[in-house]
Amino acid sequence: MTDLIGTDTDSVDLADVLASLNRLLRLRTTPVAMKLFDHVEAMEAVPRIRRPSAIHTTDQIVGMAARNGWTVGITAEDLVGTQCRAVIGLSPHDEEWLRGERYEGVWYADSESASSHQKAMDVVPFGRYQAMAVSPMASGRLDPPDICLIYATPAQMILFINGLQYSGYKKLEWGCVGESSCADSWGRALKTGEPSLSIPCFAERRYGGVMEDELLMAIPPKFLPKVIAGLEQLSANGLRYPIPAYGVSNDARAGMGVSYESR
């Protein structure tokens, strides 16, 4: 089975990709670029970068870009605890972190469950990075970003995935760690370099402003031209967003015939 293959990151025109995504899927939430930095000075050199004046979750930092349109840079000291820091590789994944004691009795019934959750998370290895920044994709300030974050409704997201799979098909399989599901999205995508889908968790919705009906795709930019090409072909085949309701009582043959009988 052929693996999903993207283009070279440096050749991706993010402005063109963004215009196409908005045209084909009518996204309502600002797509976000995310980048890790080896040195704080490199992050602080990003044009019009904002630095937090309070302590935040990573969900809030991402939300500042997605909901407010800000470019924001952080270090470990700007984040509320080790969970947020560890997912993006800004604090060690040591024995204390792996025990997950603060989650026992809150999200998980016992110490074994809490520890198992911590060990299941996909996180960026610790030791290389000192800072992270997010910015609206449209700004072009993180060019190229490490990953892009696409918030979409389930209907929009399945078409996004259909576009990704249109050529060079590969079955896409993702997990769900539950709370701290940022590990399923940006944690996994930063760690593996692969497209990573998540159901945003309680914290992302409470602190990051993620809407009730939104899913999150974290995806390296090299895959986005492939998504757009697939979406364009699907649209040409009449498979486009918004998906019109056919009617649960109608004879399905007429509708199916439009898509399949000519082939």
Each residue of 114-153: pLDDT tens digit? 999 999 999 999 999 999 999 999 999 998 999 999 999 9
Q: Residue 248: inside a domain, yes or no?
A: no
Question: Which two structure tokens, joined as six digits, stand for 138?
Answer: 């449209």
Average pLDDT for the chain: 95
Percent of the chain with pLDDT over 90: 91
Q: How many separate domains does the chain show? A: 1
Q: Residue 261: inside a domain, yes or no?
A: no
Q: Residue 102: inside a domain, yes or no?
A: yes
Mean local confidence (pLDDT), 248-258:
91
Residue 2 has pLDDT above 50, yes or no: no
Residue 1 has pLDDT above 50, yes or no: no
Q: Residue 77: inside a domain, yes or no?
A: yes
DSSP per position, 89-126: TSS---HHHHHTGGGBTTTBSSHHHHHHHHHH---PPT
Instruction: In whole angstroms, give the CA distance from residue 243 to residue 259.
Output: 14
Q: Residue 237: inside a domain, yes or no?
A: yes
Instruction: In whole angstroms, give the CA distance from residue 165 to residue 162.
Output: 5
Q: Which residues are within 8 A (CB) of 84 and not within 5 positions of it... i.e. 6 or more apart?
A: 57, 58, 59
161, 199, 153, 187: which is closest to 29 by C-alpha?
153
Q: What is the pTM of this model?
A: 0.94
- pLDDT value of residue 152: 98
Q: Residue 257: inside a domain, yes or no?
A: no
- pLDDT value of residue 261: 79
Each residue of 46-102: pLDDT tens digit? 999 999 999 999 999 999 999 999 999 999 999 999 999 999 999 999 999 999 999
Q: Residue 232: inside a domain, yes or no?
A: yes
| Helical (H) or strand (E) element with 36 | strand 32-37
Residue 8 has pLDDT above 80, yes or no: no
Q: Residue 135: inside a domain, yes or no?
A: yes
Q: Which domain holds residue 189?
A: 9-243
Do residues 117 and 103 lie in contact, with contact meaning Cβ atoms separated by under 8 Å?
Answer: yes
- pLDDT value of residue 5: 64
Greater pLDDT, 5 or 214? 214
- pLDDT value of residue 262: 67
- pLDDT value of residue 258: 87
Q: Which residues are within 8 A (CB) of 74 and not within 5 positions of it... i.e. 6 or more apart?
A: 51, 52, 56, 58, 61, 131, 132, 133
Q: Give the sign of the dihedral formed by CA 65, CA 69, CA 71, CA 72.
A: negative
